[in-house]
Structures are given as structure tokens and as C-alpha cells.
């Protein structure tokens, strides 16, 4: 069966935007009940003839700060258990946060490959200085991407499929 790639990261870094961008037009909202909007979380993605299943582990991310922190940890654990490759998403606009460090600490304990994306690098000039801070997560080379502007996604996908 296809390798599984799980998108993880704290709320608001752009996981779902990235997921939808990679899933392209094949994606659709599977359930849209008033008050409960639930995006589809699985998508089949193909890159350079390699097919994989992408999972947005983010869910709805609602509740108190404490509840959200638990959700972040649970999502990272689900990803560690089920994924072949973990796509860890962070945000250049906020820089490294405490929650990013928490996720990184969990991910560093797994032997599974982790690709570190720094999202919201929207300029074609690619804000390179701002991404150096993300080396401190100890996950490897940060890859600048913009889910919003569809930048850097090819390099990121190359890194993902190199781990299959």
C-alpha cells in the first residue's frame, strides 16, 4: 500500500492550507453540517510518479489553551505511530514557539523521517535569514515554503519522497 505522510504542527501554522494545496482539486469537503465543518483529512497525492497518502492530523483544534496543548501532543503521537514520513509544519511569521519545541521534542524521539517545513515564506526573495532560527528545533534543515503562494512545494515534495 501507499506510504503515509502525516502533516503535524501546532494550530495556525498552515497545515490545512498546505494539505489542501497538495491535495489539489481532487479534494472536497466530506461533511458540512451546520456548526460542525469538518474538512477531509486524507488525500492521495502523486509527485514524480510516487504516490502517497497525506493526512492532516490537525483536526479542529478548538478549546482552551490546555486542551489544545493536549491535542497537539496527541496528533504528534498519532503521526509517529501511523506515518512513514512526518511533515512538521512551522510558521516563519511567529518564529519558533514553545509549542513548536514541544512537537519537535516528541518527533526527535522517533526514528521515522521528519521533513521540517517553515511555512508563510511568501516572498519569492525567500526570507532566508528568518528560517535559520528553525535549526534550533534539532530536526534538520528547515525548508522554506508558502502554502498560500504555492512556493517551495516542489523541493519539499522531493524531500518527502526521498524517504520512501
Residue numbers of the site for ligand GDP (CB under 6 A)? Answer: 9, 11-17, 58, 61, 119-120, 122, 146-149
Residue among 49 and 66 whose Cβ is closer to ligand GDP = 66
16 touches Mg ion by CB under 5 A: yes
Cβ-contact 26, 43 below 8 angstroms: yes
Residue 148 binds which of ligand GDP, Mg ion, none (CB < 5-8 A, kind-dependent): ligand GDP
Q: Give the chain's largest Cα–Cα span.
A: 43
| Cell numbers given for 28 | 472536497
9 touches Mg ion by CB under 5 A: no
Element of type H or E holding 32 = strand 31-33
**Would you say 60 is a known binding-site residue?**
yes
Which pairs from 97-101 meet CB under 8 Å and 24+ separation?
97/10, 99/10, 99/69, 99/72, 100/9, 100/10, 100/137, 101/137
Nearest-approach distance from CB 72 to Mg ion, in angstroms: 12
Nearest-approach distance from CB 78 to ligand GDP, in angstroms: 15
Binding-site positions for GTP: 9-16, 56-60, 119-122
- Interface with Mg ion (CB under 5 A): 15-16, 58
Amino acid at each position: 500500500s501507499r506510504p503515509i505522510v502525516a502533516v503535524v504542527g501546532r494550530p495556525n501554522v498552515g497545515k490545512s492550507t498546505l494539505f489542501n494545496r497538495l491535495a489539489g482539486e481532487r479534494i472536497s469537503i466530506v461533511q458540512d453540517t451546520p456548526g460542525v465543518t469538518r474538512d477531509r483529512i486524507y488525500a492521495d497525492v502523486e509527485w514524480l510518479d510516487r504516490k502517497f497518502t497525506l493526512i492532516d492530523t490537525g483536526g479542529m483544534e478548538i478549546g482552551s489553551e490546555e486542551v489544545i496543548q493536549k491535542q497537539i501532543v496527541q496528533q504528534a503521537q498519532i503521526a509517529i505511530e501511523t506515518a512513514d514520513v512526518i511533515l512538521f509544519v512551522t510558521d516563519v511569521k511567529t518564529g519558533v514557539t514553545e509549542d513548536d519545541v514541544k512537537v519537535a521534542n516528541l518527533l526527535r524521539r522517533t526514528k521515522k523521517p521528519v521533513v521540517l517545513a517553515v511555512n508563510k515564506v511568501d516572498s519569492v526573495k525567500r526570507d532566508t535569514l528568518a528560517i535559520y532560527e528553525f535549526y534550533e528545533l534539532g530536526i534538520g534543515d528547515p525548508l522554506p515554503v508558502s502554502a498560500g503562494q504555492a512556493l517551495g512545494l516542489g523541493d519539499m515534495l522531493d524531500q518527502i519522497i526521498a524517504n520512501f
